[in-house]
Amino acid sequence: MSKKKVMIFGCGGMLGKAVYEKFKERYDVLATDIDVNETWLEYLDVRDLNAILKRVADFGPGLLINLAALTDLEYCEKHPQEAWLTNALGQENIALAGQKFDIACVYVSAASVFDGKQEFYNDADNPKPVNVYGKGKYYGEVVTQQMLKKYFIFRAGWMMGGGIKKDKKFINKIFKQVSAGAKELFVVEDKHGTPTYTVDFASSMYNIVQGDFYGLYNMVCTGSASRYEVAKEFIKCLGLEKEVKINPVNSAYFEKEYFAPRPKSEKLINLKLQKRGMLYMREWKECLAEYAQVLKKEKLKHASHKDAEPQRKE
């Protein structure tokens, strides 16, 4: 009996490895990205509709998963057209492929579709994005719902995971600072959200797509926190709470560096997953502790490789 086939777009980023590793257990996986940074990746651009249609027709998948996104908020504000082409049109192109070949599609959206004026958001709350990134992700949600009958939309929160090389988000930024010897950190306390571990997100996605309960779902780790609270917990997980001081600041402290508008609250509630008995996400502190150990092991491995390199002669 041949394996089911799945095609994953944008699989070279921080979420991609977790999704690839999970799905390859039981699927024949074709993983693609414009950044071919793994041996198991093939080049494909989600902005190229004809290339997508041709590759989908050739491979014949039974499921399409779109992870492709420009997620740097400042970059998106500076390059709105490029951000829209990747984050919005890219998903429309994949939805067109799903429509043409009658294939179910998975689209990863984000808490950034909300304006942050509420403290919590469930699956049914009305999106109102405040930045270019959020607008692109919301467009992707809308076209998916308009064009397809068989779709899963999963809204992620503050993503963490992927390891030292691929994690471009908050946790690895903190890890890089303390790894470089920083003894004092300044972290905003007026932004709140729900951390989302890539490993849990990929596993949860895998479990849910085995069925046909199509629709839009908030899918984040349970619990919520401010950026400051997450940083404090992470430093504790690293065992550095006596060595590293964390100073709470408001967003104005970083307004030049992080100038993109950001919602005050991006706290998501997994209401539909919980009510349908499909909630597979763990509590964020448990996931953060696990990820902290992953980063520490990677750092040690990198250091040992560096020590093992032969010394160059002058």
Per-residue confidence at 9, pLDDT binned at 50, 70, 90? very high
- Non-local (6+) Cβ contacts of 194 within 8 A are 111, 157, 158, 220, 221, 223, 224, 225, 266, 267, 268, 284
Question: Is the confidence at residue 40, as pLDDT, over 70?
Answer: yes
What tokens appear for 12 in the block?
A: 């070279």
> Cβ–Cβ contacts within 10 Å for residue 50, how many?
8
Token pair 């390199």 in the structure block, residue: 309
Q: How many helices (H) and strands (E) does the chain have?
A: 12, 15
Q: Answer whether 222's CB lies under 8 Å from 287's CB.
A: no
Question: Is the confidence at residue 307, as pLDDT, over 70?
Answer: no
Question: Is the confidence at residue 20, as pLDDT, over 90?
Answer: yes
What value does the mean pLDDT take over residues 263-286?
Answer: 98
What value does the mean pLDDT take over residues 229-237?
Answer: 98
Question: Is the confidence at residue 313, as pLDDT, over 50?
Answer: no
State the chain's maximal CA–CA distance in angstroms.
Answer: 67
The pTM (predicted TM-score) of the whole model is 0.94
Q: Tens digit of pLDDT for each residue in 138-159? A: 999 999 999 999 999 999 999 9
Beta bridge partners of residue 9, listed in sequence order? 66
b/e per residue 234-258 (b: at least 16 CB within 10 A): bbebbeeeeebebebbeeeeeeeee
Q: Residue 194 in 3-state DSSP?
A: coil
Q: What pLDDT, on a 0 to 100 scale, did the predictor assign at position 165?
A: 93
The CA angle 237-122-201, to the nearest 5 degrees, is 45
Beta bridge partners of residue 110, listed in sequence order? 156
User: Regarding the domain delimited by 4-300, which CATH topology (the fold level of the hierarchy) does it fall under?
Assistant: Rossmann fold (3.40.50)
For the ranges 19-23, 29-33, 141-145, 298-302, which has the lowest average pLDDT?
Answer: 298-302
Per DSSP bridges, beta strands 195-197 and 225-226 are unpaired
Distance CA 145, CA 250 (A): 37
Question: Is the confidence at residue 1, as pLDDT, over 80?
Answer: no
Q: Give percent of the chain above pLDDT 70.
A: 96
Question: Is the confidence at residue 83, as pLDDT, over 70?
Answer: yes
Q: Answer whether 116's CB lies under 8 Å from 267's CB.
A: no
Question: Is the confidence at residue 41, as pLDDT, over 70?
Answer: yes
Question: Is the confidence at residue 295, as pLDDT, over 60?
Answer: yes
What value does the mean pLDDT take over residues 22-39?
Answer: 97
What value does the mean pLDDT take over residues 73-88?
Answer: 98
Q: What pLDDT, on a 0 to 100 scale, did the predictor assign at position 305?
A: 61
Question: Is the confidence at residue 304, as pLDDT, over 80?
Answer: no
Question: Is the confidence at residue 275, as pLDDT, over 70?
Answer: yes
Question: Is the confidence at residue 60, as pLDDT, over 90?
Answer: yes
Q: Residue 166 in 3-state DSSP?
A: helix
Domain locations in the chain as residue ranges: 4-300
Q: Tens digit of pLDDT for each residue in 188-210? A: 999 999 999 999 999 999 999 99
Question: Is the confidence at residue 121, as pLDDT, over 50?
Answer: yes
Q: What is the CA 171 to chain-centroid distance, rounded?
A: 13
Q: What pLDDT, on a 0 to 100 scale, did the predictor assign at position 94?
A: 98
Distance CA 266, CA 270 (A): 13
Q: What pLDDT, on a 0 to 100 scale, did the predictor assign at position 306?
A: 61
Per-residue confidence at 302, pLDDT binned at 50, 70, 90? confident
Q: What pLDDT, on a 0 to 100 scale, did the predictor assign at position 301?
A: 83
Q: What pLDDT, on a 0 to 100 scale, did the predictor assign at position 300?
A: 87
Q: Answer whether 264's CB lies under 8 Å from 116's CB.
A: yes
